[in-house]
Amino acid sequence: MLQISMVPGCLCGQIRREGPLGLSVSARGRREGARCPECRRRSTVVHGYYDRRPLDLPVVGRQVRLDLRIRRYACRNPDCPRQTFGEQLPTLIAPSAQRTNRLVKAQARIGIALGGSAGSRLAKQIAMPASGDTILRLVRRMPEPVMPAPTVIGVDDWAMKKRLRYGTIVVDLERHRPIDLLPDRTSETVSDWLGSRNGIEIVARDRSTEYRRGITTGAPNAVQVADRWHLLHNTRQMVERWTASAHSRLCRLPSLQNAETSGKGRTKAFPRTRSDTTNTIENRERRKVQYEDIRRRYLAGEKLKALSRSTGLARATVRKFALAENFP
């Protein structure tokens, strides 16, 4: 018959109810004798006992607390400074811990999946209650997973506080996982990070000159490629700028109404309400005044950045107005 040890490394005794929803399981170490942690000499002389009451994994939906009877051994080595020592149960529980290793693992995994508060709510429902802070503490204590050294990485801006503070995120593009966050986005920081690692073969980046310099210095043998997102993003920006500046010329192109494709589908916008129409006209008038002001000042030699700051408009809007030959 298959026998499963309910408590690893221990012999179990009585199981009792503890409160309306709990159980307590009494247990003691299976092995007789232990090594002194100071002199490593083995002792089987029991000096006394003490109790530990750690929490364990739930059973049949009930919270479980172990009643562990721990032996205290006497060290018989006359040269050893330690006279007694408690037995350790490393497969079950860490020294001085309040919960068993397997409960720590389960609660930490809940924390990784859900975070502190939500993890705490779930843990309470499945009879292994812990506060959100405790769950986060257990997550932080977990050993970091060992990852193979990356060879293909991507670097990009990462906003610690949008528009104010930016760092650099480094992503392992083969495993699709972020592997580091750097405190800023200067070429020196990127160069130092790359210089401390071997085997980087390809680095994907945006078209920033800072990153280009950092990668060239830190990983001179790595191939630098522009990532797809930035290629599409820059293409869209260029098309948008060009169409805004050529808006009036595009408007003068022959109408498609007489073409063969006309007549199919809707050619006019849905009718607007009176208030919509008024709002649209007012907005358009207001934007036209802004456009004329920006266009005049831009042609007089003011910089886009200064125009954006003095008008309070977004840099992209200012650029669109400044470059457009007619009101877009």
> Site residues (CB under 5 A) for Zn ion?
36, 38-39, 75, 77, 80, 82
Cβ nearer to Zn ion, comparing 31 with 82? 82
Residue 254 in tokens: 């022959």
Percent helix / strand / coil, the chain, rounded to 5: 35, 25, 40
Rounded CA-CA distance 63/95 in Å is 22
- Smallest distance, Zn ion to C-beta of residue 75, A: 3
Cβ nearer to Zn ion, comparing 75 with 130? 75
Run of H or E residues at 304? helix 304-311
Cβ nearer to Zn ion, comparing 70 with 114? 70
Rounded CA-CA distance 210/189 in Å is 10
- Smallest distance, Zn ion to C-beta of residue 10, A: 24
- Smallest distance, Zn ion to C-beta of residue 23, A: 37
- Smallest distance, Zn ion to C-beta of residue 50, A: 18
46 in Cβ contact with 115 (< 8 Å) = no
Dihedral, CA of residue 35, residue 37, residue 41 and residue 42, to nearest 10: -10
- Smallest distance, Zn ion to C-beta of residue 84, A: 9
Tokens 């690893």 -> residue: 8
CB atoms closer than 10 angstroms to residue 147: 10
Rounded CA-CA distance 119/131 in Å is 9
Sort strands 223-226 and 202-205 into parallel, antiparallel or unpaired: parallel
- Smallest distance, Zn ion to C-beta of residue 219, A: 53
Among residues 6, 145, 34, 15, the alpha carbon closest in space to that of 90 is found at 34
Rounded CA-CA distance 92/30 in Å is 12
- Smallest distance, Zn ion to C-beta of residue 71, A: 15
